[in-house]
Structure 1
Amino acid sequence: MVLRNIDPSAGLMNGTRLKITELMDFMVRAKIITGEKVGRTVDIPRLSITPSDTRLPFKMRRRQLPLAVAFAITINKSQGQSLSEVGIFLPRPVFSHGQLYVGISRVTSKNGLKILIVDKDGKPQAKTMNVVFKEIFNNL
């Protein structure tokens, strides 16, 4: 998965998923598997990354590939995507109102949806709570 907006016009944006086809010394060749540019082959070079922490008395810089292995993605990262298969693992109640809906609504067919809800001991459960912290509504 791409971790930065590298080249939006080429489909290389934060959250784009790729299939790595070739590893080189300072670059990766990959095929885009999500978004409008599905099927396009792209080359991704190492990028210079400078953290913006102004508390440091020096500038730190590192060169890295802006990619992360993504066997799974978070509910937040899935927002806006359409997926043919979605598996949701809930070892505890979802964090905030609407988050469970976002996760479930990413799948294009109910046949592609699998949900595993477990209790503290890892035993399967039939339901979960959609947690809402009502305190956030006090100042509205």
Structure 2
Amino acid sequence: MSRVGVSAILTSGRTQKQGSGMELGKLSKDYTDEVAVCEMDLTTLKALGIEEGAPVKVKSAFGSVVVRSRIDKRGAPGIVFIPCGPYANMVIDSTTESCGMPDFKGTPVEIFVAESCSVLSIEEILEEILGGD
């Protein structure tokens, strides 16, 4: 993994394809393919020196996760997007400030090239969270 990262602000939300994948099940390949990504503008992708689809490590004060990179043609430099779900949950603050919902927008992150890392399956993410065997 590269030691030099790119700073960004993470935002999260639902996508249409994610909704379709959920209909097949949250452990389905379609769902995983849609949520295990970090969408970024072309400038950010070039700053990392990678091609679309390369693994990146997204790190925040709350945790880190490896996902695939994806170009967001409408994205702005310094803003990245991970769809709501287990991968985004690894890097956002879980506190809810008594409203019952964590803040899915505005998390400062660093993005690193993660060429020697692989994207964990949702089952592996859950084992990591729950401290599985």
When the two structures are superposed, what TM-score results if normalisation uses the length of structure 1?
0.23
When the two structures are superposed, what TM-score results if normalisation uses the length of structure 2?
0.24
Q: Give 1 or 2 for the bigger CA radius of gyration.
A: 1
Hey, which of these two has a bigger chunk of helix by percent?
2
Hey, which of these two has a bigger chunk of strand by percent?
2
The structure showing larger relative contact order (alpha-carbon pairs under 8 Å, at least 6 residues apart) is: 2
